């Protein structure tokens, strides 16, 4: 079975725990997350630590 490439898209990146768990699950199931995209990122919560190894893009940063 070939690996499917995908993006993880969500409206808010706050603590990063849920997004980190979601991309880890997709990876565990054989998926290939190419990028994570968020409408809003709360940078003061240091959420990117949960998404190490995945490119993160956000439209608005607070």
How far apart (Å, rounded) are the C-alpha atoms in residues 4 and 28? 12
Listed in sequence order, the residues at least 6 apart from 42 whose beta carbon sits closer than 8 Å to its beta carbon are: 12, 13, 14, 62
Strands 32-41 and 56-61: what pairing? Answer: parallel
CB atoms within 10 A of CB 54: 18
> How confident is the model at residue 2, as a pLDDT?
64
For the chain, first and last CA: distance in Å? Answer: 41
The pLDDT tens digits of the residues spanning 25-61 come to 999 999 999 999 999 999 999 999 999 989 999 999 9
């Amino acid at each position: 079975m070939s690996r499917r490439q995908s993006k993880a898209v969500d409206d808010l990146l706050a603590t990063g725990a849920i997004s980190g768990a979601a991309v880890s699950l997709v990876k565990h199931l054989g998926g290939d997350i190419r990028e994570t995209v968020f409408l809003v990122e709360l940078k003061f919560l240091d959420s990117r630590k949960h998404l190490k190894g995945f490119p993160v893009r956000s439209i608005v940063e607070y």
